[in-house]
Structure 1
């Protein structure tokens, strides 16, 4: 069954005009629709303002003259201001909602050559949203003006699902944005990847404040800058990325740094200062550690975020700045609000989009790709390519993903660790011995203050790597205690008597020295090896 062709379009008050015989010498878009011999327009829904009734009636007669089989429905559509988008869209929307479309028997072409530019945009949106279930129709005059030449027409289908190439380009752009936010690191943690996917959508669609929480070194500052750069690439911001750590702001300097000041506002204010909020105009302001702001600065920031206006210090005239705020903190601001340290209204304002970045220890599967990323960065900076040998890489990853690796500094710790090994690597290869030394350094770094072993024990230096890897925390603590007793004793027998002073009474054959020797051998240690590695001052 062949469907009927139905055209919906605005009458062109200029392009379709003409009353005398000379009108047939010019190209008129609406008339050209019915002049194509190979295409029959069964019905024309012609929208027009009633003050052009005479022109509408002329078009009605001319269509009947050229194409008697075409039915023309004149649809009066008066709008107060045809250049007002809201008014025009509402009028077209109301008409479409009341129109009885019959897609089973008819196909609809929305003519976008005539009407004001606003009317054409509204027609486009009605088709794109499927309120008009059809395609767009674009007509064009002939290259050489001659009577009866209808020119050409093009049908444009806005159903993008039919265009695989376009769909692939949109998917590619989305994937590139995600890769950009992750600095090109192929992260594997599902939770983190889902988080970045949502942040990507928010970054390119919203100008509202964004709150990034998470431990120090989790990448809040880096992600904020990448979000800005992504928005910049989409021409969504024209200004700069301005970053400040609020923990560094104190006293009058805090308000001055953020909001600026007038000359003489306080002692030392020798000249006007614009402040970072104005510097971030039409850009992005990243306030790291926002929870460190004082109460006065919090109140001023709330006004600036809500109204885009604020008073510099010492000024009686407000200034304006249109910026997007990204805030960062490693604190739980909900607790600070409950305890009165942070304004509830400011928290509510910046908490529309809130994301918690997981620490490195919560993303063990992402450690390996981040190591490779750090090595690539080191190679780009130094021009020297460095790689792990297989044994060293396995050893480092085993430790890095274990419970012993605290990564308290998160990516800062990892970056520093990889940088050290890459710098010390001979011949461009990171060896197992270099890895073992780095592991000792990291363990020392993460050792809690006050819990440093006063005996100076270094089990990693005393035991083979495979023995260290197999030690439970219980075994480690027990072995350290045994070694401590050995170092405090003069002989193997003396140490055995101290260690087995209770259980020896339950044995028929007592040989404390032999028991201790066998215990040490379990860890490939001897009395001499334990004593030989004593610190110099301990052996005195």
Structure 2
């Protein structure tokens, strides 16, 4: 096999001004790497120097064929130009790996050229190993040193393991240090880690109340801070607290000229988040005008404070949270379609506790440790108490309506009431009864409140009818049309019917209560207007 070296002419080093060592010449004198052909790339401005190097190599290594390859560079520090020229060279070269071994000489050329060589060899556009030469280090290396770098990373297990360890640490941070046995959740965190560490585009976190969206957003900020993707603050606000003219002033700032009163000027949350992360919770509660201004700020990094004729600049990473599906929010006019398009680039759905029952034990341990830290004392569960609590938590009939908030509060209550620092089975039974009463009361109140929007006397309905009608109304309000609501509600039974007129079935059901599609939607619109 013939050895072929490809490298740039060293316009400084190959002149040999500072020392006698000239890397392109001395490289051909190494016995352990006989060079059969040297492709010496040079700019026409240095054609004379290239010719001298060709002659010098002919003297010290007559068996080496030197080919002078002209490659003019308007700016050898311009990445796009250098990469393009080298890419074209590689494309047209005609490598013959059956007869020749190829090496790229990294020592000469600009740092930009070295980066381009690395990219092209790593991607196999140039099927070569990298060659690094250095000046002599004593009598043992009269012609200098030479190192061959093979980019086959499978040989560098320690390096790969280190990358994997860093990735695992990042995912663990996003999980809050709690190990999960739920494959869907682990896959979600792996994907989120990739996005967080490589992209600064807006992020949307969807999920039910209590699934940890805000805590996850804070951990995303911590990871970005570690990776130096942000250097500013985390600025957090719940959009449900922003109403009227104060919403624009709180978000975008306000000049004193609006009121003429000293002390009324405000910097605004967007300004405070410059260089950092802006966390907008319940973004669907943000009023339409504020959504429009926010969209401009996201896309351009510029906006006008209230009462100002001058633009302000703020570059921030946006993380938004919402409880409902984006499509539902757009269909109900709670979210602008253009803002929806921006937020939907990276959308992650947090899982409710009922979908992560395999992780219950890990979260109990986590919440117990938090309670111990707050209470300042150790608390343990008796074996039968822990077994009972875990069975209850795993039971599919346990709704966990508040998700991890409910579990956290439950563990904290048990730890607080634990006499002599021990949680007993009797205490667990009492806690289970407490949770059941809470959930029953919450469900009943929510259903009655919803039915009161469309019926004058919802209490007159049987409990069975109240629960069923409330579920139907929620499905209607979450759907864009009566047909879509029907398909959702009758998804199982419709498969057995010859005529799948879901809309008609839904109309007949609503008519039993003297309701129709328009009255259900109108009630929702009127309630939102209030």
Is 1:77 equivalent to 2:75 in the alignment? no
Report the equivalent of 2:384.
Answer: 391
Residue 405, structure 1, aligned to residue 398, structure 2: yes
Contact 2:9 2:40 (C-alpha < 8 Å) held by counterparts: yes
Name the CA distance, whole Å, in 2 between partners of 1:139 and 1:197: 40
Q: 1:431-452, CA deviations, whole angstroms, 9 ceiling, x for partnerless residues?
A: 0111111112111211135859
Structure 1 pair 269–132 and aligned structure 2 pair: CA distance change class (3 A): farther
In the TM superposition, what is the alpha-carbon distance from 1:107 to its structure 2 partner?
1.9
Query: 2:211 aligned with 1:213, yes or no?
Result: no
Aligned residues: 447
Q: Please report how far the alpha carbon of residue 103 of structure 1 lies from its aligned counterpart in structure 2 after TM superposition.
A: 2.1
Residues 142 and 150, structure 1, Cα contact 8 Å, conserved in 2: yes
User: Per-residue deviation at 1:376?
Assistant: 2.0
Report the counterpart of residue 320 of structure 1 in structure 2.
Answer: 313
Structure 2 distance, partners of 1:123, 1:5, is: 18
C-alpha change, 1:311 and 1:437, in structure 2 (3 Å) is same
Deviation, 1:81, is: 1.3
The TM-score, its normalising length taken from structure 1, stands at 0.79
Alpha-carbon separation, structure 2, partners of 1:450 and 1:232: 41
Give the superposition deviation at 1:367: 1.4
Given that 1:261 and 1:269 are in contact with CA atoms closer than 8 Å, whether structure 2 keeps it comes out as: no
What is the aligned counterpart of 1:138 among 132, 156, 162? 132
Q: Which of residues 234, 250, 255 is equivalent to 1:257?
A: 250
Among 419, 434, 440, the alignment partner of 2:412 is 419
The 3 A distance-change label for structure 1 pair 303 and 53 is: same
What CA deviation, in whole Å up to 9, does each residue of 1:446-465 have, x standing for no partner?
A: 1135859xxxxxxxxxxxxx
In structure 1, the gaps of 5 or more residues are 453-473, 475-540
Report the CA distance shift for 1:444/1:24 in structure 2 as closer, same or farther (over 3 A). closer
CA distance in 2 between partners of 1:24 and 1:262 (Å): 62
Aligned to 1:536: none
* SS of residue matched to 1:244: strand
Q: Give 1:190's aligned residue.
A: 183
The match for 2:226 is 233
1:12 aligns with 2:16: no
* Alpha-carbon contact 1:262-1:269 (below 8 Å) kept: no
Classify the secondary structure of the residue corresponding to 2:348: strand
Of 166, 169, 181, 1:173 maps to: 166
Match of 1:100 in 2: 94
Aligned to 2:285: 292
Query: Cα gap change, 1:25/1:432 in structure 2, threshold over 3 Å: closer, same or farther?
Result: closer
1:269: Cα distance to partner? 6.9
Q: 1:105 to 1:173 in 2, by over 3 A?
A: same
Secondary structure at the residue paired with 1:377?
helix
Aligned mates of 2:21, 2:430 — CA distance in 1: 84
- Distance apart, 1:279 and its partner CA: 1.3
* Bigger shift: residues 334-343 or 412-421: 334-343
Inter-CA distance 295–431: structure 2 relative to 1 (3 Å threshold):
same
Contact 1:399 1:405 in 2 (8 A): yes
Contact 2:375 2:416 in 1 (8 A): no
- 2:34, 2:20 → 1: CA distance? 21
Answering whether residue 37 of structure 2 is matched by residue 39 of structure 1, we say: no
Greater helix fraction, Structure 1 or Structure 2 = 2
TM-aligned CA distance change 1:451 to 1:255, over 3 Å: closer
Cα deviation, residue 115, structure 1:
0.9
Q: 1:429 aligns with which of 410, 422, 429?
A: 422
Q: Compute the displacement of 1:297 (Å).
A: 0.5
1:223 aligns with 2:221: no
- Residue 88 (1) aligns with residue 86 (2): no
SS of residue paired to 1:34: helix
| Residue 405 to residue 143, structure 1, CA distance change in 2 (3 Å) | same
Which moved further from structure 2: 196-205 or 101-110? 101-110
C-alpha separation between the residues in 2 aligned to 1:396 and 1:277? 45
Q: Which moved more, 1:160-169 or 1:305-314?
A: 160-169
**Match runs of 1:346-495 below 5 Å:** 346-448=339-441, 451=444
Q: 1:263 and 1:184 mapped to 2: Cα distance? A: 46
SS of the counterpart of 1:423? helix
**1:321: how far off?**
1.0
CA RMSD of aligned residues (A): 2.2
**More displaced stretch, 214-223 vs 157-166:** 157-166
Distance between the aligned counterparts of 1:203 and 1:24, measured in 2? Answer: 47
Check conservation: 1:421, 1:434, Cα contact below 8 A.
yes
